Structure 1
Amino acid sequence: MSALLDPAERTARGARLQAELGGATTEPATPVEASWRDYIYAEIWSRPALDLRARFLIAMSSAATAGDAAATETYVRGALAGDLISLAELREAALHVAVYSGWSSGGILDAAVTRVADAMGLAAAVFAPIRAEPWDATARHEVGAASFKEHMLFGGPPPKTAYFEGGILNFVFGEMWNRAGLDERSRRWLTLVGVGFSGASTPIRSHVWSAMASGNASRAEMEEFVLQYAVHAGWPRGSVMQGAVLEQAARVEKNLPFEA
């Protein structure tokens, strides 16, 4: 028979992690507040299957996409204070969130970064312009198509509609995914949050497959991602994402290509 777990120990662990990671340190006044300490921090953030940098990226983008400015700011503060994500990387993260969760959500994250950076007295982060040099429109389509294949590991759409031409090829893969300010693994987490909230089957399945097929995330990390993501997305969206992870992990393990 296994030993019983001690609720007092869980509370102590949750309070410690909540304080260390940037959350509240006051005694909870409601069941929801208590659940942040005794479940979210004590039992999710303490799990070893995913690194803290990844958890912060998932949490802050999920909170911003859910419209929770206060939680977004808490995560930004924790990431900066813990030296886990730089200010310049956070600015790039906000741009990535804007693409996959909408510019309003990206704006919530960007504003939270500004508030925290100002409060900490940080100098403004230098960022590369969206595009500094003139370009040829046809060449940008070609760059976007090549970038799509590089990051997604399968061929992308032809520029036959405004969405594909002006969005996916021109900007998303023609420019944003190629920016040097944020590594590919980090961009994966932000993308997965955005497509997860969308509920759109093909983007969810394709990006889940690409995250694992690229080696950016293992099956165990993807399964842990689902739990961290569900905190702000909710368990029903988490269930959809979990199904996609199980389905696409089986394909990756058999070396099967993505199938729409």
Structure 2
Amino acid sequence: MSKFDDLPEARRRGLEKMEEVYGFDMSDGEGDFFRYTADHLFGDIWQRPGLSDRDRRLLLIGLLAGQGAADVLGIQVPAAHANGELDDDALREIVVFLSHYAGWPNGARLNSIVEETIAKARRS
């Protein structure tokens, strides 16, 4: 039984996938933006066949690094690490690789997030 069982199927699937991807508790939200995020992005797109969650995460981290989106990387990198999708070595290799394509300043921001993630996990 899910805490989301009383919600429509698309919302339930989306919120459950969001919890799985992000690694923290989700609650239902309001508005069109939340609806598209939960019902469509996580209820449909993240659950399509053909790519694993790790594949999707790698693509997303690359895109976010290229955009310099450190705020969202600060969610995605720790979640990938906590979910066991990317270990310390893989995260550090991603930094080296992406720095050459996304630019050194974006790589430096990603490196800070990666090292903070690894250090926090070791303290836990």
- TM bucket normalised to smaller: 0.7 to 0.9
1:247 aligns with 2:120: no
Query: Structure 1 residues 175, 250: CA separation in 2 closer, same or farther (over 3 Å shift)?
Result: same
Identity of aligned residues (%): 25
User: Residue 28 of structure 2 aligns to a residue in which SS?
Assistant: coil
Q: Give, in angstroms, the shift of residue 200 of structure 1.
A: 3.0
In 2, Cα distance between the equivalents of 1:221 and 1:145?
Answer: 28
Partner of 1:139: 9
Partner of 1:195: 64
Partner of 2:26: 156
Structure that is richer in helix per residue: 2
In 2, Cα distance between the equivalents of 1:196 and 1:157?
Answer: 28
Q: Give, in angstroms, the shift of residue 249 of structure 1.
A: 1.4
The answer to which structure, 1 or 2, has the higher relative contact order (CA under 8 A, 6+ apart) is 2
1:5-54 alpha-carbon deviations (Å, 9 max, x no partner): xxxxxxxxxxxxxxxxxxxxxxxxxxxxxxxxxxxxxxxxxxxxxxxxxx
In 2, Cα distance between the equivalents of 1:144 and 1:249?
Answer: 28
TM-score for the superposition, normalised by structure 2: 0.84
In 2, Cα distance between the equivalents of 1:162 and 1:198?
Answer: 24
Structure 1 segments, 4+ long, off by >6 Å, are none
Letter in 1 for 2:18: F
CA RMSD of aligned residues (A): 1.8
Which of 56, 63, 73 matches 1:204? 73
Q: Give, in angstroms, the shift of residue 157 of structure 1.
A: 5.5
Larger radius of gyration: 1
User: Residue 217 of structure 1 aligns to a residue in which SS?
Assistant: coil
User: Residue 154 of structure 1 aligns to a residue in which SS?
Assistant: coil
Partner of 2:95: 226
Query: Structure 1 residues 218, 202: CA separation in 2 closer, same or farther (over 3 Å shift)?
Result: same
TM-score for the superposition, normalised by structure 1: 0.42
Q: Give, in angstroms, the shift of residue 179 of structure 1.
A: 1.6
Letter in 1 for 2:10: R
8 Å Cα contact 1:192-1:208 kept in structure 2: yes
1:196-243 alpha-carbon deviations (Å, 9 max, x no partner): 233333311110001111111111110110111122210010011000
Letter in 1 for 2:87: S
Q: Matches of residues 107-146 of structure 1 in structure 2 within 5 Å?
A: 138-146=8-16
**Residues matched between the structures, number:** 118
